[in-house]
Structure 1
Amino acid sequence: MAMAKEASTFFDLSNENVETPGLKPLELEIEDSPAEKMPSKNPFLRYRHFYQVDYRRQRKKLFILGILIFDVCLFLAARFFLSKPNFYYFGRMIIFLALGAYFHLFAFLLIFFLIERVSNLLIRRTPKFYILQSKTLHTVIAIGLALFLTLQGFISTLQRPTIKNLNLSIQNLPAEFENFTIALVSDIHTGPTVGRSRVEEIVEIVNQLDADVVTIAGDLVDGYVDYIGDRVLPIKNLKSKYGTFIALGNHEYIHENVDHWIKFFGSNLNATVLVNSGTVLKKDGKELCIAGVDDYFAETAQIEGHKMDTEKALSSCPSSVSTTILLVHQPNGVAKVLTTLKKINKKVDLILSGHTHAGQMYIVWPVGYLVNHFFYGLYIYPESGTQIYVSSGVNFWGPPIKMLPSLCEIVKIRLHKAPNSSLA
């Protein structure tokens, strides 16, 4: 009983005056906090104890960092884009690859942001799904996808251009022009990331096609005559029976006075520049007309002395010509041409276009598809039977990225007389 009483007294914490024989009160010494004792000369410890990382905010910091990188890239691109013609090629590629990676990263972060917001609204009162709302996971996935697609797209642009064969039946095609072949090249974009060696490779491939005529449907250059004129000179070595015909694209206008490029093309490339004009090709007494219009950009940007003039371009094609081919760089320009043809009661059998790059990058593809009347491939305008081919281009614009190697294309078009043609 005595032992029980002592134990009861010992565990009665409410009795502050109880003294237990043989036990001394425990004295606790509270040391200064590590932050108070931390040596001021140790920056690592200072950072460790005073700066607590909030991982939930890392995505915002990554986004801000991305914007800063983007701004730096824009500055470098503007500084070295073409003002320094001998700027190291590797440096230019790094700048534009960084831009491509940023575009991908921004797009994926935006997508995941929307997913998080939508999931919060839909499952507000139910258990939350980690995969839908984890900011850390989404950031990691976005970075991974951006780097992967940038690298994959870059590798695609390093491949040799693909040859695409296209057989077209043309109403009223003269028998003399049966199997007439056209090499279509679009969007070479000779400039900061497309050098002379790439142009030489394109010329070599086109010459192997042994085409009757070579057409360049705009955006041959992307810069100033004084800086990149020498890079485009290999175009003069293109070989075909009837010559090379060049239409203007929007990038011929952006950096330089377009008249300087028109003069340069005509004087140095052994080619005919079609600016609201056309040329008649003759074979055994029969005729075929190739015409080209000024770019749609010239009109929308109100560039003095330049605008699309379909009627003027086709005035070079006499009424005796039964087959007409028209070069129009932008698909939205094609839509305007078709409207004009209806008004002036004229017909074009085939329109060759480019500009869209078939989207070029996965993240841009939906936008390109929505904003262009024609996007990529072969179309037939039902009201007139006009056939329209929109090329994905042989190269790229800006970041050296393309979704697939096959989208860096050179098209060989072979014309056939339609079976129900009324022309003898």
Structure 2
Amino acid sequence: MKTNFIILLAVFFIIEIYVYQAIRNITTNNYIRIGYWVFTLLAYGIILYWILTFNKASRDHQQIQLMVSAMMIFVLPKLLSVIFLLIGDFTRFVEFGFKYFTAKENYFPERRKFISTTALAAAGIFSALAIDGIIFGKYRHTVRKVKLRFKNLPESFKGYKIVQISDVHSGSFFNPLKLQKAIDLINEQDADVVLFTGDMVNNYADEFKPFIPLFKNIKAKDGKFSILGNHDYGDYGAWNSREEKAQNIPNLKNYQAEAGFKLLRNENIALEKNGEKIYLLGVENWGIKPFPQYGDLDKALLGVPEDAIKVLMSHDPTHFDEVVKKHKTNVHLTLSGHTHGMQFGLDLKNIKWSPVKFKYKKWADLYESEGKYLYVNRGFGVIAYPGRVGINPEITVIELV
């Protein structure tokens, strides 16, 4: 651990020296140069203080957010600038080699001010985006609408609206009222049913208590249903006893019930209209290890007619590829979350990219495989980094036609 820490410090030192060369290249003002180092050392000192004083048992998620925010605003932008500087130095090296072997010149070209300026500007833009994501981005809830056609959909369910939200992570917000606009946006969709696909909290059920009145105001004609996500089990928290941890899920279930959500744990419920039914399945978390695999699709399917339309809530989208689509029973639609779109990336009409794609093949939007559908919601809240850059929080509206 100590060796890794020393290596990390050495890497940061090299990055800072390298970035400082760009500062030197664009200005001869000593006040600016000295100011850069004063600010840099102060920033690293604050980050180090937060790391050394962090106490997991305090259950203070705000300190985690401060540490991650500092990395996003201060450290990662410098890594981006280093990429530009390396490209510039590579071209200088190529130019030197060409002149050395063709004209016998032994002069190494100076670093171009344009490259240094571009590198620092890119870092500044990244920092600005990270700050915007913290102040505004996490509240830019976007409604995404999808229409899905099923051949044997009962007549009474044509035009049926399913509103999906996921990954609230209520412990990441410190003022419930700031989410009122998002709740109003949900209610504007005139949902037949509202489904929440896991991670209501970061670790502790009590995180959700201040949000109960807010989520109680969500309206749905046929009810509100939820499942557990990997964070809801409290496996990442600090507990005083096994008994205290064991009480976490019962408490969360009760709090969600107060907010009007019925928690489904490897079970199903029929949604009925005019004597016709579709079935809602809810499984516990099932993900690729080390994530827990408590989900039991067979149990959730008990009593469900083979030919009925089935909508499955399963927090982790890997469950779809690993289990659901291979299952002998046709589960028509799976609704997942979990990835958050990593809260960072590009989410344009024809371009969708996020670093999370290197871990999850299916990380956002609608997918179809073997005649079965999976929709991955980008998440309602945030975790660790208290912001969103390019990947807006999502409210999904799925209309059955």
Q: How does 1:121-136 map to 2 (within 5 A)?
A: 122-123=94-95, 125-126=97-98
Secondary structure of the equivalent of 2:172?
coil
The code of the aligned residue for 2:392 comes to L
Change (3 A) 1:176 1:222: same
The answer to whether the aligner puts 1:308 opposite 2:295 as a matched pair is yes
C-alpha contact 2:65 2:384 (8 A) present in aligned 1: no
Find the aligned partners of 2:58 and 2:158 in 1 and give their Cα distance: 45
C-alpha contact 1:99 1:399 (8 A) present in aligned 2: no
Find the aligned partners of 1:182 and 1:121 in 2 and give their Cα distance: 58
C-alpha contact 2:19 2:81 (8 A) present in aligned 1: no
Please report how far the alpha carbon of residue 168 of structure 1 lies from its aligned counterpart in structure 2 after TM superposition: 1.4
Which of the numbers 166, 170, 174 marks the counterpart of 1:186?
166
Secondary structure of the equivalent of 2:98?
coil
The corresponding residue for 2:338 is: 355
The corresponding residue for 2:6 is: none
Please report how far the alpha carbon of residue 296 of structure 1 lies from its aligned counterpart in structure 2 after TM superposition: 2.8
Question: Which runs of 5 or more structure 2 residues have no equivalent in the other structure?
Answer: 1-15, 23-36, 100-107, 238-244, 347-351
Find the aligned partners of 1:414 and 1:264 in 2 and give their Cα distance: 29
Change (3 A) 1:228 1:377: closer
The corresponding residue for 2:31 is: none
Which of the numbers 282, 286, 295 marks the counterpart of 1:296?
286
Find the aligned partners of 2:93 and 2:284 in 1 and give their Cα distance: 51
Q: Choose 1 or 2 for highest CA Rg.
A: 1
The corresponding residue for 1:374 is: 362
Change (3 A) 1:119 1:294: farther
The code of the aligned residue for 1:376 comes to A
Number of residue pairs aligned between Structure 1 and Structure 2: 348
Secondary structure of the equivalent of 1:191?
helix
C-alpha contact 1:288 1:323 (8 A) present in aligned 2: yes
C-alpha contact 2:265 2:284 (8 A) present in aligned 1: yes
Secondary structure of the equivalent of 1:393?
coil
Provide the alpha-carbon RMSD of the alignment: 3.7
C-alpha contact 2:92 2:111 (8 A) present in aligned 1: no
The code of the aligned residue for 1:281 comes to L
C-alpha contact 2:197 2:228 (8 A) present in aligned 1: yes
C-alpha contact 1:393 1:409 (8 A) present in aligned 2: yes
C-alpha contact 1:196 1:232 (8 A) present in aligned 2: no
Q: How does 1:183-262 map to 2 (within 5 A)?
A: 183-193=163-173, 195-253=175-233, 254-256=235-237, 257=245, 260-262=248-250
Please report how far the alpha carbon of residue 275 of structure 1 lies from its aligned counterpart in structure 2 after TM superposition: 2.0
Deviations 1:4-47 (A, max 9, x none): xxxxxxxxxxxxxxxxxxxxxxxxxxxxxxxxxxxxxxxxxxxx
Q: How does 1:36-185 map to 2 (within 5 A)?
A: 58=20, 68-75=45-52, 78-79=54-55, 83=59, 96-102=68-74, 104-105=76-77, 107-109=79-81, 111-112=83-84, 115=87, 118-119=90-91, 122-123=94-95, 125-126=97-98, 137=117, 140-157=120-137, 159-185=139-165
The code of the aligned residue for 2:290 comes to A
Find the aligned partners of 2:304 and 2:112 in 1 and give their Cα distance: 61
Deviations 1:21-77 (A, max 9, x none): xxxxxxxxxxxxxxxxxxxxxxxxxxxxxxxxx97683697988766554434456x
Please report how far the alpha carbon of residue 183 of structure 1 lies from its aligned counterpart in structure 2 after TM superposition: 0.8
The corresponding residue for 1:264 is: 252
Q: How does 1:277-292 map to 2 (within 5 A)?
A: 277-292=267-282
The corresponding residue for 2:321 is: 335
Find the aligned partners of 2:75 and 2:300 in 1 and give their Cα distance: 39
Secondary structure of the equivalent of 2:210?
helix
Find the aligned partners of 1:207 and 1:164 in 2 and give their Cα distance: 14
Find the aligned partners of 2:56 and 2:172 in 1 and give their Cα distance: 9
Q: TM-score, normalised by structure 2?
A: 0.73
Deviations 1:355-403 (A, max 9, x none): 222232239954211210202111111x2x1111111122322223222
